[in-house]
Structure 1
Amino acid sequence: MAVPDENPDPLAEALLHTLASQSSMGLFLFDDGLDLVRYHADQLLTALGEEAGKADRTLFRELLDDDARHLMRKVRDDLEARHGYVTWRPEGHGERELSFAALPLRDPDGRPGGVAAAVVDITGEIDAFSRYDTLQRGDTIGSSLDVARIAQELADTAALRLADTVTVDVLDSVLQGRLPHPGHVRENLLVRRISAGVPEGVRFPAAFPLGGRHGFPHAGPFARALDERRSQLVREAGDEDRWLALAVERGLAPRDTHSLIVVPLIGRGALMGLATFYRRAGSDPFSKKDLSTAAGLVRRVGAVADNARLYTVERAAAQLLRHSLVPGALKSTATVQSAEGYVADGGHAWCEVIALPGARTALVVGDVAAGGVRGAARMGQLRASLLALAEADLEPGELLSRLAALTSRLFAQDEGASGPGDTAFPLATCLYLVYDPLDRSCVVASAGHPAPLYGEAGGELGSAAIEIGPPLGVEYHAYETTRLSLPEHGELALYTDGLTSVRPGDGHNGAGALAQALASARGSLEERCDQVLDALAPQCPTGDAVLLLAHTRPLPRSNVATWELDSDPKGVSIARKACRRQLAEWGLTDLSFTTELMVSEMVTNAVRYGRPPIRLRLIRDRSLICETHDTGSCAPHVRHAASGDEGGRGLFMLSQMAARWGVRFDPQGTTGKTVWAELEIPE
């Protein structure tokens, strides 16, 4: 189509005719006043006219928005070519993206003569690029191993170019780590909405909240996608579609939805959920190419999401092992107040606070150099073994030696089941410390673990000078016990290497940096733990960072009573009377009868089978503790006397009356033994 010209150039006419009949480019000529004088754009206007109506000059005038006219004026005035884009929005139809280039025209004398414009419809190219870009962005999804985060990345990526709104719903069973059985999906299968998104990161303002659980209507594309495991395309949807109206009513879909794609989220061949792509009224309906793009994107994300699900299952199993293999740690005792800080980094570190006989408290920190379920299982074995040995009331060095022997046996058992280059039993470290509030001392031994810090509470702490033996799992080893004296109000800091592996150039060794951080921290024990972890843990992601911080205080002298007894039967009567008077002074007369019986049996055994001197001690702690000490090395044991026997029932009675009882030998077995028993103090 052309505006008549008095002097047409045949060659120019041939070129314009060819462009008009065979090219999708539209050529338009404007005079110096920017009035349209000629155009050749049959194919362009015909293509646009299919959507907007009749292809004529009026149609083209509608294409020129204010930005395009401003650009042509600048071309005319500056005599420089310019390029831009025009977004055409015909009423009732989707947007068209047009490339717009304007060039200045000159007459033979070089004077400005108007403007030439070339317009190309690039909507298809933009759509193709959007699909390609969406798939490329899909390849970057999955930097985390969290199903909800992966789903949110999918929603945000697809909403950027492909859809107006995207939602992802995952089967409730999948979030619990279980895949559904293959086959028909029952009605109202429960799913949980875990993500939603619209362009520019705005969340879908649905009435149904993220994290809520619901069942999709058993009709329409949702049910078909769940049942057939195939993507569903709905080009045109409206209020007459009952399934859409129900979804809108329940806040599961946008109210102005007119086209949608539903894609099942598949992982390892099993259904995990649904991803739904919506376009609102005013946007182009989805095409089959869009369906292919959406299906490809979800398919790529499905494998990543399933890996995250498997990781979630393994991590949950490891945490379950971590917390359930052994009872939870006691956080404080009457003479030790403690707080724990923990930052996980793929390992399995732990700490314990254990109440021991004689009002003493054991503080333990350990670390297993392995992750996953296997590392958690090994940690559980070590913790359970350590607690059992602590019940035997062994001194720290002997306890770690027995723990090392047990570890060596476990190593030998697993050695045949390990693959090439696999360490059957991962190396572990452990530090065991016992605080005695009666003399403000502590004894400590270490198996490959850093020495504790100790000192005055509120002051600067120093590193204890102890011998550090090899880690557990290497071979059997005898560990040395070191005795330390604490101030009246002391502070202890036990920690793992993951907290003190500072970077080179920091100016401090690991223990020095920790001591400085503790000196700077303020507030309660818990608050100080948090401050130290914030200061040190981010600098050293080399293992689990654990800090066990404890304040110690002595037991008041008024809570301890001690008597030296003669090594003859008269000492039993003296012990009973002394206990009766002491319990009355403490206001525990209700325990007198039981305590006197227990003390009688314990002193009688010391007189008959022990060696002098004999000492009786009562300790009022959270429970009432009775102790007899002698220099004999023979440990008493419970006998089950026959009906005709005259003796042998004393320790049996003791075991029935006491909450717990036992024997502990003095260090190195040189000064005798202590038989102890505990009675619960009524509230």
Structure 2
Amino acid sequence: MSAEYWARQRLLILNKASGGIGRTLDVIGTARELARAPVPGFAGLVSVDLFDEVLRGEEPPSASAFTPGETIALRRAAQHSAKEDTDRAAGPAMPVSHTPGSVAARCMATGRSTVELAAEPGQGGEWAFGPGLAADPAHWPPGNPLIDGSLAADGLTGRITVPLRARGALLGVVAFSRTDRPEAFTADDLILAEELTAKAAVAIDNARRYSRERTTALTLQRSLLPQGLPNQEAVEVASRYLPDGTGAEVGGDWFDVIPLSGARGALVVGDVVGHGLHASASMGRLRTAIRTLADVDLPPDELLTHLDDLVLHLASDLRPTDHFQPAGESGATCLYYDPVSRRFTLASAGHPLPQIISADGTRAPVPAQPGPPLGIGGLPFEATELELPEASLLALYTDGLVQSRKRDVDQRIAELQRIVNHSATSLEALCDTVMDAMLPERRTDDAALLLARTHALDPHHIADWDVEPDPAQVPNARKFAVDQVDAWGLNEAAFVTELVVSELVTNAIRYGEPPIRLRLIRDTSLICEVSDASNTAPHLRRARAFGEGGRGLLLVAQLTQGWGTRHATSGKVIWCAQALS
């Protein structure tokens, strides 16, 4: 056979490898593609060893990290044999070591390939893959080939060891071995092995970089999601979040459960259109903003209005030269639930409305319309208020849970309603059931689910009293509070309760407007609320050395777990909460 024939054979192998290596953004998968590509046409056994850092998506170790004479530890990412015609058994990459002085260690240290032959190549290379070159030293790089008779004992006729390098970084080492074929490797074979390795090295490094960015985005996103949901008597909650199943970048779906004053709770689910770090970062900004706005007790519709402005401002702050890309449309559903009145207030911005299943199993649609997506600007958001039967089940979710290329969204929502079983005793198990049933294995979008079962507060855990706007009523208010706390068996909280009631009622009488009302709530904490008809909110201030005022709220802030102001339709509520042991 002519030299032109063998040259065409090499080109065919190289062309096949070009289309078969780098089809996925997976390090192990790309290593296996490299191991399969030259078998059996070029080699009988190929092994790919990579640094552990490369497999984890991290930066490979620098050359300065290697100590002369030190064993180099790698992991066998892929191995393919013509005899078995199968890959090495699937599973974690097994550790391998290359001792100092070994061919693989020298190749990685010098950055040059090495060819080992079991015997001196014959003149003319009649058995060679490329005749006429095997025995011609003019075509071999310096130091090649090495004659090692011990290869024959291992059943090999030759081996080419090539360092795996990309963008100036060492990723590992590849070994091409011939087993049953009698022809020796040639200098042209070395060029082909280096070409295959170079193509695979870039693909492996691309997969490593992608893995690093995806891991970073997932870590960022999961760190921004609640690590543990708060324990509240108002609602029992469970949640799930799953990124898409295609191996693409992570998305911007999120959820949150926020404790509010007055034993209330806020349930929030949102979605930032897009994928990758930009979507995760935008999601983190929105979640932080919602927590801040909810903490000042803004109603859901006002909260979404401020959030809409924030999205517009964030987009306008970006310069055309910025690498940070603006996020796409964002949506959110915000729901406040009050266990005292059993009422919830809901507002939505371009986002699916929650599903409500009553205790008797009745499924009723929420009588509300989603508002415009966040970032449109100039359009109103409407709040809907509804009374819930006790033990109702709420299902809040992102559109990734119900979107499907095969079925209509309305059909998918109806399917979700059938799957959400109110009689389920465990919301955690119900979350798993819903995610397994609704999401295909090859899902194309991330999805978040938040389930909440509502509870009504025991009427015996609520006590209120109308206060006349007369300073002489302050002792009566203190007595009412102390007697009620003693009746609840919370004697250790009586002293602090007496102090804060005295301060808050005195301030309401002195600076507020009637009607004035005192309310005590026994929840996971002891809550004291004083409401009046004035819209003026108090603020902490530094008391002057000989001043008569300025110490009351400071005393409240120091003695309680937290305090704040909640504006109502008419007037305000000053509240504080004490932790209960």
TM bin, normalised by shorter chain, reads 0.7 to 0.9
Alpha-carbon contact 2:157-2:184 (below 8 Å) kept: no
Shift of 1:620: 1.8
Relative to 1, partners in 2 of residues 1:423 and 1:461: Cα closer, same or farther, differing over 3 Å?
farther
Matches of 2:523 and 2:466, distance apart in 1: 21
Change (3 A) 1:457 1:157: farther
Structure 2 residue 26 is matched with structure 1 residue 146: yes
How far has the Cα of 1:298 moved from its partner? Answer: 2.0
- Residues 343 and 545 in structure 1, CA contact (< 8 A), matched pair in contact too: yes
Aligned partner of residue 530 in structure 2, secondary structure: strand
Shift of 1:366: 0.7
| C-alpha distance in 2 between matches for 1:390 and 1:630 | 21
Q: What is the RMSD computed on CA atoms of the aligned residues?
A: 3.5
Equivalent residues in 2 for 1:203-242 (5 A)? 204=88, 210-213=92-95, 215-236=97-118
Distance 1:593 1:183, change over 3 A: closer
- Separation in 1 of the partners of 2:501 and 2:416? 47
Measured against aligned partners, the alpha-carbon deviations of 1:65-111 in whole angstroms (never above 9, x if no partner) come to xxxxxxxxxxxxxxxxxxxxxxxxxxxxxxxxxxxxxxxxxxxxxxx
Match for residue 434 of structure 1? Answer: 336
In structure 1, the partner of 2:485 is 583
2:254 matched residue in structure 1: 350
Amino acid at match of 1:538: P
Distance 2:440 2:360 in 1: 25
Q: Which string of whole-angstrom CA distances, capped at 9 and with x for unpartnered residues, describes residues 437-485 of structure 1? A: 1111110111111111112147253331213221112224432111022
Deviation at 1:202, TM superposition (A): 4.7
Query: Cα gap change, 1:273/1:466 in structure 2, threshold over 3 Å: closer, same or farther?
Result: same
- Which amino acid in structure 2 is aligned with residue 234 of structure 1? E
Instruction: Decide which moves more: 338-347 or 546-555.
Output: 338-347
Corresponding residue number in structure 2 for 1:287: 185
Which amino acid letter does the alignment assign opposite residue 224 of structure 1? R
Point out which structure has higher relative CO (alpha carbons under 8 A, 6+ apart). 2
Instruction: Give the partner amino acid of 2:279.
Output: G
State which of 308, 319, 335 in structure 1 corresponds to 2:218. Answer: 319
Q: For residue 639 of structure 1, give the secondary structure of its aligned residue in structure 2.
A: coil
Establish whether residue 397 from structure 1 lines up as the match of residue 280 from structure 2: no
Paired residues, number: 542
- The change in CA–CA distance for 1:152 and 1:575 in structure 2 (over 3 A counts) is farther
- SS for the counterpart of 1:274 is strand
The yes-or-no answer on 1:264 pairing with 2:163 is yes
User: 8 Å contact 1:366–1:431 — kept in the other structure?
Assistant: yes
Question: Does the alignment pair 1:335 with 2:234?
Answer: yes
Unaligned runs of 5+ in 2: 120-147
Q: Paired residue for 1:660? A: 562
Equivalents in 2 of 1:530, 1:677: separation in Å?
A: 38
Q: Which amino acid aligns with 1:227?
A: A
Structure 2 Cα separation of the partners of residues 603 and 452 of structure 1: 39
**Which residue of structure 1 lines up, in the alignment, with residue 524 of structure 2?**
622
Deviation sequence 1:173-231 (CA, Å, 0-9, x none): 3334214446795443443333334344655589xx94355652121311222122222
Task: Please say if 1:192 is aligned against 2:91.
Answer: no
Larger radius of gyration: 1
Q: CA deviation at 1:587?
A: 2.4
Distance in 1 (alpha carbons) for counterparts of 2:396 and 2:89: 49
Determine if the alignment matches structure 1 residue 372 to structure 2 residue 253.
Answer: no
- Is the contact between residue 220 and residue 280 of structure 2 (CA under 8 Å) also seen in structure 1? yes
Q: Determine the C-alpha separation between the residues in 1 that align with 2:503 and 2:367.
A: 42
1:164–1:664: structure 2 CA closer, same or farther, 3 Å change rule? Answer: same
Partner SS for 2:266: strand
Indicate the residue corresponding to 1:57 in structure 2. Answer: none
CA distance in structure 1 between the partners assigned to 2:448 and 2:409 by the alignment: 22
Which deviates further from its counterpart, 475-484 or 492-501? Answer: 475-484
Match of 2:123 in 1: none
Change (3 A) 1:184 1:235: farther
Per the alignment, residue 305 of structure 1 pairs with 204
Counterpart in the other structure of 2:127: none
Q: Who is 1:78 aligned against?
A: none
Secondary structure of the structure 2 residue equivalent to 1:466 = coil
Shift of 1:162: 4.3
2:226, 2:256 within 8 Å by CA — same for their partners in 1?
no
Q: For residue 299 of structure 2, what is the amino acid of its counterpart?
A: E
What is the rounded CA distance, in whole Å, between the counterparts of 1:652 and 1:160 in structure 2? 81
How far does the alpha carbon of each residue in 1:287-344 deviate from its partner, in whole angstroms, 9 at most, with x for none? Answer: 1254444333222211211111111122122223323457645265323122223332
Describe the superposition over 1:347-405 as per-residue Cα deviations: whole angstroms up to 9, x where unpaired: 21111111112111111111111211122211111111111111111110111111111
Q: Structure 1 residues 154, 559: CA separation in 2 closer, same or farther (over 3 Å shift)?
A: farther
Closer, same or farther: CA 615–657 of 1 in aligned 2, 3 Å: same
2:425 and 2:157 map into 1 onto residues whose CA distance is: 59
Where does residue 130 of structure 2 map in the other structure?
A: none
| Aligned mates of 2:114, 2:12 — CA distance in 1 | 21
Q: Which residue pairs with 2:318 in the alignment?
A: 414
Cα distance change on mapping 1:508 and 1:480 into 2, 3 Å: closer
Match of 2:365 among 463, 466, 469: 463
Q: Tell me, in whole angstroms, the C-alpha distance in 2 between the residues paired with 1:370 and 1:359.
A: 36
Equivalent residue, structure 2, for 1:527: 429
Give the Cα–Cα distance (whole angstroms) in 1 for the partners of residues 417 and 89 of structure 2. 50
Q: TM-score, normalised by structure 2?
A: 0.84
Letter in 2 for 1:230: R
Q: Distance in 2 between matches of 1:442 and 1:632?
A: 25
Indicate the residue corresponding to 1:55 in structure 2.
none
Q: 1:96 aligns to what?
A: none
Q: 1:434 to 1:463 in 2, by over 3 A?
A: same
> 2:230–2:259: 8 Å Cα contact kept in structure 1?
no
Alignment CA distance shift 1:476-1:308 (3 Å): farther
Partner of 2:58: 177
Contact residue 401 and residue 476 of structure 1 kept, 8 A: no
The 1-side partners of 2:231 and 2:156 are apart by 59
Identity score, percent? 38
CA positional deviation for 1:594? 1.4
Question: Aligned with 1:469: secondary structure?
Answer: coil
| Alignment CA distance shift 1:624-1:425 (3 Å) | same
Q: Is the 8 A contact 1:449 1:468 kept in 2?
A: yes
CA distance 1:558–1:127, shift in 2 (3 Å): farther
Matched residues in 1 for 2:61 and 2:442: separation? 41
Q: Deviations over 1:119-164 (max 9, x none)?
A: xxx9x98998698457514522333212122223323444555444
Amino acid at match of 2:81: V
- How far does residue 506 in structure 1 lie from its aligned partner after superposition? 5.4
Normalized against structure 1, the TM-score is what? 0.72
Q: Note if contact 1:366-1:496 (Cα within 8 Å) is conserved in structure 2.
A: yes
Secondary structure at the counterpart of residue 538 of structure 1:
coil
Question: Structure 1, residues 475-531: CA drift from partner, whole Å, max 9, x if none?
Answer: 244321110221111011111122222446659444323213325996732333233
**Maintained 8 Å contact 1:460/1:519:** no
